[in-house]
Structure 1
Amino acid sequence: MAGYSKTSTTTSASLLILFLLFGFSMAKEMLVGGKTDAWRVPASESDSLNQWAEKSRFQVGDYLVWKYDGGKDSVLQVSREDYGNCSISNPIKEYNDGTTKVKLEHPGPFYFISGAKGHCEKGQKLVVVVLTPRGGRFTGIAPSPSPSPSSAFAEFEGPAVAPTSSATALNGGIFMMAMGVVAAMWVFPM
């Protein structure tokens, strides 16, 4: 490799590793339901946002983004109990700006319901289960324990099921592949 020093190759390899690590740790913004009009009363059970959430993979640091008419609806983050009862009287957090962005700050379930009267009872609600980081090295504050779950919500205990589609895994994959090709061409010019 005439014209290339060991320092240049080492620096190039270090940059490649940095790009790879950065790409795998990037948080994602996920549009709730995958479309701008998803925060509404579902037309059927198969239209439920929980169907979408079960097919998606959520990591600590990801963001959920809702788009809706803030004058007519809102997003309430609630406890498991309030989720099950569709209680809008004691939300953990309330959002009504029409474009809501919530950071998923810890592993475990997050519960959201509509703040519009009667909408939750008609199915406008969402449970998102955030995966525990690999290696268990997450150092954030864990959520406080909640009362024992009713049998209707026991299905949300434990780790999330892997999605049936690889679409979420491909989110940063194309970028990382392109960066790898560029780095390889830089390190090993033709």
Structure 2
Amino acid sequence: MNKIKVQCGDFQGNITLPCYEAFKSPDLSRGVSMAAVYQVGDSSGWTSMGQVDYKEWAASKNLHVGDTLVFNYNSQFHNVKQVTQHGFEACNATSPVATYTNGYDTVTLEKLGHFYFICGYPGHCQAGQQIDILVSSPTSSLSPSPSTD
């Protein structure tokens, strides 16, 4: 089954033209996979101030390939380091997979599995500014159910 992936909406909640076109398309019957945008930490953003339990935040999300994470933070005091599982567990940012520093960073989740992020500023990861993102396979209510014959 082919699926169409469409980002339906901008940050203000307006439906974008590609979304509108997809829903009026006859290809809709093949199934539509929607990409979502998540601001890490919701309105608190990416911070070490103890306002956000990032483990709880991540557990409350159902993330899929194509979804986007937004890290919103004060770049004078924080950064985002994508690290390995070992780097995550040790709060070690010395060999990051990727580094983000502009204060409004977006990361598109391009494969299944775990993505690990920490703040590389001293003490911030240890204070809880770290997140383990699990990207899972989507389940589509538009797909036909498997036969039980």
TM-score by length of 2: 0.71
For the pair 1:80 / 2:88, whether they are aligned, the reply is no
1:20-73 Cα deviation digits (max 9, x unpaired) = 657x312111111222x33112527xx311101101100001000011011221
2:39 is aligned with 1:34: no
Show CA shifts across 1:100-150 (max 9, x none). Answer: 000100001100000111100111100010003459xxxxxxxxxxxxxxx
Gap regions ≥5 residues in structure 2:
1-22, 141-149
- The sequence identity of aligned pairs, in percent, is 31
Q: Which amino acid counterpart does residue 53 of structure 2 have in structure 1?
A: S
Structure 1 gap segments, 5+ residues each: 1-13, 136-190
Q: Which of 1 and 2 has greater Rg?
A: 1
Give the TM-score normalised by the residue count of structure 1: 0.56
Q: 1 CA distance for matches of 2:103 and 2:122?
A: 17
Correspondence list, 1:3-152, <5 A: 15=24, 17-19=26-28, 24-35=32-43, 37-43=44-50, 47-133=52-138
Give the alignment's Cα RMSD to 1 decimal: 2.3
Q: Is the 8 A contact 1:86 1:120 kept in 2?
A: yes
Q: 1:57 to 1:69 in 2, by over 3 A?
A: same
Q: Paired residues, what number? A: 118
Tell me how far apart the structure 1 counterparts of residues 65 and 42 of structure 2 sit (CA, whole Å). Answer: 19
Equivalent position SS for 1:120? coil
- Structure with the higher helix share, 1 or 2: 1
Structure 1 stretches of at least 4 aligned residues deviating more than 6 Å after TM superposition = none
